[in-house]
Structure 1
């Protein structure tokens, strides 16, 4: 499903933009999230348990995720659409792993924030790709 250049892009510590179904008259509003590509090809991210996106994902368990190369590099992006499952297990481990991927964890302020996340419970969001679109210049 993913091409080799997709895998190289998704292996980098870039922000993904997660879009879930909106409520009411609102428009979809992508949110930047940390992510990782799991060995089985699913995309994993996490959320604090009270986040509104989790309620919307429980109502309509589908999402899209877009990851793009940063400015200054040749244009390259991968867009994934798929069903979503939510998991109480594995969220803390994922959050700790991603924090180490995206942040310098020797910073005591960041370490404290991650500890607060882990103490409050973390939900693992798994996007199961069904459609993948891409562009690479």
Structure 2
């Protein structure tokens, strides 16, 4: 199945970390925690620094997967999204803003300074287009 369900979106729209693995990385893949956003179009978006190794790897092989799990204090639940990615600069800054507001309390002066640093950076937007979705809930 390549479509996110309502239950998938419920989990993916929480401020949880996702673990991104890219296909052209070391064997075995080495997942990295990332902020992400599940869109109304059914894609997953995240941002990264243009110099990030994941960008070079995705240029060689655009396949990636993202796994998101509920916290250990809840019943077991996870969603895995696998597919091809696109990488571009379109809307990257807006994505940074949305995700910072989702993951941080921007009323906190430290986080407000952190966001100012992010605003000063250059970012790329990675879009994961689901081809396969796996899930578990019990």
Indicate the TM-score class for this superposition, using the shorter chain for normalisation.
over 0.9
What is the count of residue pairs matched by the alignment? 136
Question: What are the within-5 Å matches in structure 2 for residues 19-38 of structure 1?
Answer: 19-23=21-25, 26-38=27-39
Counterpart check, 1:40 vs 2:46? no
Inter-partner Cα distance in structure 2 for 1:134 and 1:9: 11
Q: Which shifted more, 3-12 or 78-87?
A: 3-12
- What's the TM-score once normalised by structure 2's chain length? 0.92
Question: What are the within-5 Å matches in structure 2 for residues 1-137 of structure 1?
Answer: 1-23=3-25, 26-137=27-138
Q: Measure how far apart 1:39 and its partner are.
A: 1.0
* 8 Å contact kept, 2:24–2:60: no
Inter-partner Cα distance in structure 2 for 1:114 and 1:26: 34
Q: 3-state DSSP class of the match of 1:124?
A: strand
**What are the ranges of 5 or more consecutive residues in structure 1 without an aligned counterpart?**
none
* 8 Å contact kept, 1:64–1:82: yes
Runs of 4+ in structure 1 over 6 Å off = none
* 8 Å contact kept, 1:22–1:29: no
| Alpha-carbon RMSD | 1.3
**What are the ranges of 5 or more consecutive residues in structure 2 without an aligned counterpart?**
none
Q: 3-state DSSP class of the match of 1:14?
A: coil
* 8 Å contact kept, 1:15–1:33: yes
Inter-partner Cα distance in structure 1 for 2:50 and 2:136: 34
Inter-partner Cα distance in structure 2 for 1:98 and 1:64: 19
